Amino acid sequence: MTIQFEIERFESESVQNSLGEYWMRAPEQIQLLNRFVFLDWASARVLAGWVPAAEEFEWKCKMSRFLWQDMKNAEKLRARKEELSGNAKVFIPSEKLKLFVQEVPAADGFFAFIAGWFLEVKKGVIDAYERYLEALDPIFDAPTLEIFEDILPKKRKQLAWGQRLIHDTVKDPKMLESVGRWRKYTRQYLLYLGGIDERQPSSSNKPASPIFEPYGPAPVKRSKPKWLKHAELVEAPEQFRDNLKIFMWHYATEIQVVDPMCYVFYGVDDMPFEFYVDFSRHIWDESRHHQMGARRLQQMGYDLRDIPLPYQDDPIKLLEEYYEDLTMIGESCSFTRKKKSMEAYYAKGDILSGMTAEIDIVDERSHVKFGKKWVPVMHSQRLGDDSNLDDIVRGILDRWMNKIKEAGLTELTGPEDKSISHFAFCGKVEFRNLNFDKL
């Protein structure tokens, strides 16, 4: 005999609807998961847009990790949505929310953005997760619960980082006013929405932005630390030129690619979802490489504040060109020298430097795979060019050989330029001014 519980006998539609706070059917979960996918995907792109405005390298590295976490969260939620609905397509939950993720990040300063996005928006998302935990059944909805319970601690750590940063910042009265103004605007906008889930009591009036001109996302000037010893370097500083330490210095300089990559991540708005998952990891990896190099130099007795590092102020505008040059030239043409440096470090007993090079090689292999996967898609979807990867790379090599000739680097040019292979090109540029015999 089947036992029927009273909860199964409700016939009133109003009573059934009121159960939503305590029970959630698959269609409701699908809508909820779609909303959270959209929010994390949007958050990753918004964070990328603001990384160039972060003054300290530490903040850029933290935000790079956060945008990767947001995309990984979105990927997990999207997979669960596909299980429940049979399709992975992500829909914009509402026009109001679409406008919200465009207008609320458009603050007039970095700290105002952090205060609004972390202390109000991300806090609102955490609150929504916790509300819906109460409505998920421990058996029916166990796969969703597992994902939520994995995601929530990461979101709380992100919130705590934002809170600490703002706590230290508002000691300045002008910053306190700016932060307070933008938090108030964000709270009013959330109230107009009816909360991040648009299911709470809402106000009828959309708030007006309290500023005339936003500073970001994608600011017109990149921010860098005040302490940075900046130099337009043609080659490495003298103390690194004739020894293997040059590789650790090069790793430390990889922070200079994080901002441009974030301009690409934010500015390229019509690529497949999977591109942003892959590229978010790529960005985080480059920030890690900077940290690896900076840590090793500090272990060797160097102070990063005393070491010149190249760093440009201007944003990049040729987004597709930057991505293809980074993956098909900058990273593709690095493996031989990095492998040789790793072997030299290990042979000379410098284990930590060898491990630094080894991990970098592992990451770069993934990045080149990403480039081979996405460069043709980017050319097709954004440039209307359906060329295959080989033809695209041929065009990249021709463009680079022209740059080399214009720069007067005659030792890198020759009669075979027109037919030079990718491998041969890398061989020409990889081993300039390197000494593998001296630590």
Look at residue 417 in the predicted model and tell me its pLDDT: 58
What average pLDDT does this structure show over 294-319? 92
- Tens-digit pLDDT profile for residues 147-184: 999 999 999 999 999 999 999 899 999 999 999 999 99
CA dist 163 and 172 (Å) reads 16
The Cβ-side half-sphere exposure at 299, using a 13 Å CA radius, reads 15
- Tens-digit pLDDT profile for residues 63-114: 999 999 999 999 999 999 999 999 889 999 999 999 999 999 999 999 999 9
Look at residue 5 in the predicted model and tell me its pLDDT: 47
What share of the chain has pLDDT > 90, as a percent? Answer: 72
Of 204 and 385, the structure prediction assigns the larger pLDDT to 385
Look at residue 357 in the predicted model and tell me its pLDDT: 95
Look at residue 17 in the predicted model and tell me its pLDDT: 52
At position 147, the amino acid (one-letter code) is I
Q: What are the structural domains of the chain?
A: 14-193 (1.20.1260), 238-430 (1.20.1260.10)
**Does residue 1 have a pLDDT over 50?**
no
What average pLDDT does this structure show over 46-75? 97
- Tens-digit pLDDT profile for residues 184-230: 999 999 999 999 999 888 877 899 999 999 999 999 999 999 999 87
**Does residue 8 have a pLDDT over 60?**
no
Of 420 and 288, the structure prediction assigns the larger pLDDT to 288
- Tens-digit pLDDT profile for residues 116-150: 999 999 999 999 999 999 889 999 999 999 999 99
SS3 labels along the chain: CCCCCHHHHCCCHHHHHHHHHCCCCHHHHHHHHHHHHHHHHHHHHHHHHHHHHCCCHHHHHHHHHHHHHHHHHHHHHHHHHHHHHCCCCCCCCCHHHHHHHHHCCCCCCHHHHHHHHHHHHHHHHHHHHHHHHCCCCCCCCHHHHHHHHHHHHHHHHHHHHHHHHHHHHCCCHHHHHHHHHHHHHHHHHHHHHCCCCCCCCCCCCCCCCCCCCCCCCCCCCCCCCCCCCECCCCCCCHHHHCCCHHHHHHHHHHHHHHHHHHHHHHHCCCCCHHHHHHHHHHHHHHHHHHHHHHHHHHHCCCCHHHCCECCCCCCCCCHHHHHHHHHHHHHHHHHHHHHHHHHHHHHCCCHHHHHHHHHHHHHHHHHHHHHHHHHHHHHHHHHCCCCCHHHHHHHHHHHHHHHHHHCCCHHHCCCCHHHCCHHHHHHHHHCCCCCCCCC
What average pLDDT does this structure show over 289-305? 96
**Does residue 19 have a pLDDT over 80?**
no
Look at residue 430 in the predicted model and tell me its pLDDT: 61
